């Protein structure tokens, strides 16, 4: 074979659907090749191949190299069995014209296979200055060629960043978000990050609004509030009352909440809803504190039995403080403190007896659980949501329009909801509620500029495996986004180190996969099952990928690529790096950060450690927010 064309690799010798096998020419050398001043790796798994067919070029990805690529019928007679390649065809395009996924024709035996050059790849991938693409790194097989992903399909067709701990997953996400939120290129970007470990605030603080339960107000962080009354009944009950098996009790709860919402609507009209259209799931403020207090008293109160007088608050038999001759404790709905009632056996003379309340409900255990949560300060972000906390008449200082403006990108292109201080027992429920609120808001506003059609939203779900098991509540909201979000401008990006633990219905909807190093065989099989391309060779590389190296496949890239991801700058790294156990000499010189067993330490101060532990906040907070004071402030009053 005459080596006239420097890109020539060999000839097609076997075709089986989209899988073909190419025999390298006798003059083709593997390793490094230079073409027009550019270096290319020849015969690398993950490399690209071009097969000219008249006016059309077929493109494929190398998945196997060497003896394993020899056709089975030739394995015993092939002398040079190591000079074969298996290639997966993925698309076609005319020279210098647009590339399209899928193929309309197949090669035949004897067609030539060529190395893909930078000029070919520019045709396939587009150029870095094209607004439709964002650069995430360089090709591992040709570091002069940028690795580009198409933003439209990355956002609307969903994506997943998957890799074991330490593979560069968080820095990959931080780099992607920094590129997507570039104000010069994308001034109207809208990205919502669900950050359950608080990793991304430091990396994106110059372009993100950060909402935390315990914010550092000196650094511009904002308090996180999630109004319970914006949840549906199915979202609210698991967090507050828990399971209610009796249909009559469930119906009574529905009636009570609906009545409170209706009362609030009468005193505080809300555009878009009337008494005739209101339901228990309509996002209308109501006081859950009044709801709890009324039901507690209905089931636990005792009353003086008096002729002709029905049971009511006027007949409560409250304990009396002997010193003041007044009720010892009338209770506080906002603080979750119940009244103290006298025992039913107390008798005052022969004319007045004390009886228990006659209530048909049997949910006293659930009501006690709700009272406990109202008193628990860990639930203040939800049950006393600051300016969104309703008074007993349902009036709030702020409505959902302010909440949506904060969450959906009016402050900054990125919004980070730091859920690191949320009780783990309600993590999935809270994530599901947040996503459902955002989905409903954009779904119903799809025809106006604030909707997702004109300004799409990208939702990033960090550590998705922690709350997206098949039976967890958050899965239902994410499934809805995965299946229907594309039509309404809502895209998602899953980030996980355990793809095997994510509901496969959700993972299968991710059109683009960034697969970093994955050592677990079960995780790799789930990634392979979710991929749209048959690239066994590329997936077999996942256990040995370098830190920060990824196999990118799917709709946002025209060809599957193996890329080295550009890490963000030192001041943009997520707070997820491994601690330094031992510092080298160069690291120790002038080092002022934490870590290092070989460094001298100041005297330990575990009193401060205990203080931070009790505060449930790893960072000192200079300003204290009293959620009860905030919740009880009436609209218009000074806090």
Q: Is the pLDDT of residue 638 over 50?
A: no
**Cα maximum dimension of the chain:** 119
Per the domain annotation, does 72 fall within a domain?
Answer: yes
Q: Is the pLDDT of residue 549 over 80?
A: yes
Q: Of 25-29, 385-389, 590-594, which range is least confident? A: 590-594
Counting the structural domains of the chain, the total is 3
- Whole-number pLDDT of residue 30: 65
| Residue 265 CB partners (closer than 8 Å, separation 6+) | 273, 274, 275, 278, 284, 394
- Whole-number pLDDT of residue 415: 95
**Mean pLDDT, to the nearest integer, of 141-156?**
83
d(CA 274, CA 340): 38
Residues 447 and 486 in one domain: yes
Residues 407 and 418 in one domain: no
- Residues of the chain with pLDDT > 90, as a percent, come to 31
- Whole-number pLDDT of residue 2: 46
d(CA 446, CA 454): 8
Among the candidates 572, 588, 622, a domain finishes at: 572
Residues 553 and 479 in one domain: yes
> Helix 427-444 and helix 400-407: axis angle, to 10°?
100
Task: Tell me the three state secondary structure of residue 596.
Answer: coil
Task: Tell me the three state secondary structure of residue 200.
Answer: coil
Q: Is the pLDDT of residue 159 over 70?
A: yes
- Structural domain boundaries, residue 538: 146-207+413-572
User: pLDDT category, 624, cuts 50, 70, 90?
Assistant: very low
Residues 534 and 430 in one domain: yes
- Whole-number pLDDT of residue 634: 45
pLDDT, mean over the chain: 82
Residue 542 DSSP symbol: G
- Whole-number pLDDT of residue 282: 93
Q: Of 145-149, 206-210, 572-576, which range is least confident? A: 572-576
Higher local confidence (pLDDT), 48 or 352: 48
Per the domain annotation, does 240 fall within a domain?
Answer: yes
Residues 248 and 101 in one domain: no
CB 582 within 8 A of CB 597: yes
Higher local confidence (pLDDT), 290 or 120: 290
Residues 79 and 172 in one domain: no
Strand-pair category, 414-418 with 457-461: unpaired
**Mean pLDDT, to the nearest integer, of 503-531?**
85
Among the candidates 554, 572, 590, a domain finishes at: 572
Residues 362 and 251 in one domain: yes
- Whole-number pLDDT of residue 253: 94
Residues 614 and 567 in one domain: no
Strand-pair category, 112-115 with 38-42: unpaired
d(CA 419, CA 431): 9
Higher local confidence (pLDDT), 432 or 36: 432
Nearest Cα to 283, choosing from 148, 478, 438?
438
Higher local confidence (pLDDT), 68 or 194: 194
Per the domain annotation, does 553 fall within a domain?
Answer: yes
CA distances from 117 to 150, 187, 444, 514, 627 (A): 20, 34, 47, 23, 61
Strand-pair category, 512-515 with 191-195: unpaired
Could you list the beta-strand ranges (E) of 17-132. 19-24, 31-35, 38-42, 48-53, 56-65, 84-93, 99-101, 112-115
DSSP 129-152: T-TTEEEEEEESS-TTSEEEEEHH
- Whole-number pLDDT of residue 291: 94
> Residue 421 — φ and ψ, nearest 5°?
-100, 10
**Mean pLDDT, to the nearest integer, of 298-313?**
72
Task: Sort residue 221 into left (φ over 0), alpha (ψ -120 to 50) or beta.
Answer: beta
Per the domain annotation, does 508 fall within a domain?
Answer: yes
Tokens, residue 500: 């095997």
pLDDT digit string, tens, across residues 239-270: 999 889 889 999 999 999 999 999 999 988 88
User: pLDDT category, 73, cuts 50, 70, 90?
Assistant: low
- Whole-number pLDDT of residue 400: 93
Per the domain annotation, does 534 fall within a domain?
Answer: yes
- Whole-number pLDDT of residue 401: 92
Q: What is the dihedral of CA 298, 304, 309, 312, to 10 degrees?
A: -30
Residues 250 and 384 in one domain: yes
How many helices and strands (H and E) does the chain possess?
17, 26
Cross-strand partners of 182: none
Among the candidates 58, 92, 125, a domain finishes at: 125
Per the domain annotation, does 313 fall within a domain?
Answer: no
d(CA 132, CA 207): 21
Per the domain annotation, does 346 fall within a domain?
Answer: no
Q: Is the pLDDT of residue 137 over 50?
A: yes
CB 429 within 8 A of CB 235: yes
- Whole-number pLDDT of residue 512: 92
pLDDT digit string, tens, across residues 310-359: 666 667 777 776 666 666 677 788 888 888 887 776 555 555 677 777 77
Higher local confidence (pLDDT), 286 or 637: 286
Task: Tell me the three state secondary structure of residue 229.
Answer: helix
| Residue 521 CB partners (closer than 8 Å, separation 6+) | none
- Whole-number pLDDT of residue 639: 39
CB neighbour class for 445 (10 Å; exposed up to 12, middle 13-18, buried from 19): middle
Per the domain annotation, does 350 fall within a domain?
Answer: no
CA distances from 471 to 303, 479, 503 (A): 44, 12, 8
Q: Is the pLDDT of residue 589 over 60?
A: no
Strand-pair category, 457-461 with 191-195: parallel
pLDDT digit string, tens, across residues 422-473: 988 899 999 999 999 999 999 999 889 888 888 999 999 999 998 888 778 8
Residue 575 DSSP symbol: T
Q: Is the pLDDT of residue 588 over 60?
A: no
CB neighbour class for 222 (10 Å; exposed up to 12, middle 13-18, buried from 19): middle
Residues 267 and 405 in one domain: yes
Nearest Cα to 191, choosing from 440, 411, 513?
411
Q: Is the pLDDT of residue 514 over 90?
A: yes
Q: What is the CA radius of gyration of the chain?
A: 31
Q: Is the pLDDT of residue 101 over 90?
A: no
Residues 407 and 436 in one domain: no
Q: Of 172-176, 424-428, 534-538, which range is least confident? A: 534-538
Give the highest mean pLDDT range of 167-171, 443-447, 623-627.
Answer: 443-447
Residues 385 and 465 in one domain: no
- Whole-number pLDDT of residue 637: 44
Q: Is the pLDDT of residue 108 over 80?
A: yes
CATH number of the domain to which 514 belongs: 3.40.50.300
């Amino acid at each position: 074979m005459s080596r006239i064309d420097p890109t020539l690799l060999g000839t097609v010798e076997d075709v089986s659907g989209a899988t073909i096998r190419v025999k390298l020419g006798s003059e083709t050398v593997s390793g490094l090749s230079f073409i027009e001043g550019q270096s290319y790796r020849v015969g690398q798994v993950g490399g690209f191949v071009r097969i000219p067919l008249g006016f059309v070029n077929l493109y494929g990805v190398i998945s196997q190299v060497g003896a394993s690529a020899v056709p089975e019928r030739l394995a015993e007679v092939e002398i040079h069995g190591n000079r074969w390649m298996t290639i997966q065809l993925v698309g076609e395009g005319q020279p210098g014209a647009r590339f399209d996924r899928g193929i309309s024709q197949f090669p035949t035996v004897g067609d030539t296979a060529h190395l893909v050059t930078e000029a070919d790849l520019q045709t396939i991938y587009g150029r870095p200055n094209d607004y439709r693409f964002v650069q995430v790194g360089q090709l591992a097989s040709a570091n002069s060629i940028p690795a580009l992903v198409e933003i439209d399909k990355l956002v609307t067709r969903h994506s997943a960043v998957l890799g074991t701990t330490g593979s560069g997953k968080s820095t990959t996400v931080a780099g992607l978000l920094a590129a997507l939120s570039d104000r010069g290129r994308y001034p109207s970007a809208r990205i919502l990050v669900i950050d359950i470990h608080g990793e991304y605030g430091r990396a994106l603080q110059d372009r993100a609004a950060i909402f935390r339960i315990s914010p550092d107000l000196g650094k511009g962080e904002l308090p996180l509030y999630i109004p319970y009354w914006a949840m549906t009944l199915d979202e609210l009950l698991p967090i507050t009352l828990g399971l209610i098996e009796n249909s009559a009790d469930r119906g009574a709860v529905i009636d009570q909440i609906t009545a409170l919402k209706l009362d609030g609507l009468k005193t505080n009209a809300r555009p878009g809803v009337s008494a005739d259209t209101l339901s228990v799931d309509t996002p209308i403020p109501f006081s859950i504190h009044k709801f709890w207090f009324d039901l507690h008293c209905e089931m636990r109160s005792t009353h003086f039995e008096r002729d002709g007088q029905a049971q009511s608050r006027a007949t409560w038999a409250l304990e009396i403080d002997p010193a003041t001759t007044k009720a010892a404790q009338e209770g506080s709905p906002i603080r979750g403190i119940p009244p103290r009632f006298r025992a039913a056996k107390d008798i005052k003379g022969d004319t007045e007896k004390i009886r228990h309340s006659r209530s048909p409900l049997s949910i006293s255990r659930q009501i006690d659980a709700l009272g406990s949560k109202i008193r628990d300060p860990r639930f203040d972000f939800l049950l006393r949501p600051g300016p969104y906390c309703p008074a007993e008449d349902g009036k709030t200082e702020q409505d959902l329009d302010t909440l949506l403006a904060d969450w959906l990108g009016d402050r900054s292109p990125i919004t980070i909801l730091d859920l690191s201080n949320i009780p783990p027992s309600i993590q999935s429920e809270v994530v599901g509620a947040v996503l459902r609120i955002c989905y409903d808001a954009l779904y119903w506003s799809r025809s106006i500029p604030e909707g997702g059609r004109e300004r799409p939203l990208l939702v990033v779900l960090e550590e998705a495996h922690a709350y997206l098991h098949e039976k967890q509540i958050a899965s239902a909201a994410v499934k809805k986004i995965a299946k229907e979000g594309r039509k309404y401008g809502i895209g998602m990006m899953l980030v996980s180190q355990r793809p095997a633990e994510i509901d496969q219905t959700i993972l299968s909807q991710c059109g683009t996969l960034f697969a970093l190093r994955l050592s677990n065989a079960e995780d790799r099989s789930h990634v392979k099952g979710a991929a749209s391309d048959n690239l066994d060779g590329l997936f077999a590389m996942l256990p040995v990928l370098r830190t920060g190296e990824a196999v990118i496949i799917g709709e946002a890239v025209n060809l599957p690529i193996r890329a080295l991801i550009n890490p963000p700058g030192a001041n943009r790294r997520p707070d997820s790096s491994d601690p330094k156990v031992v510092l080298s000499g160069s690291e120790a010189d002038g080092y002022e950060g934490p870590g290092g067993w070989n460094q001298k330490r100041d005297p330990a101060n575990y009193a401060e450690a205990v203080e931070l532990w009790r505060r449930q906040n790893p960072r000192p907070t200079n300003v204290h927010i009293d959620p009860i004071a905030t919740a009880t402030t009436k609209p218009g009053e000074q806090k």
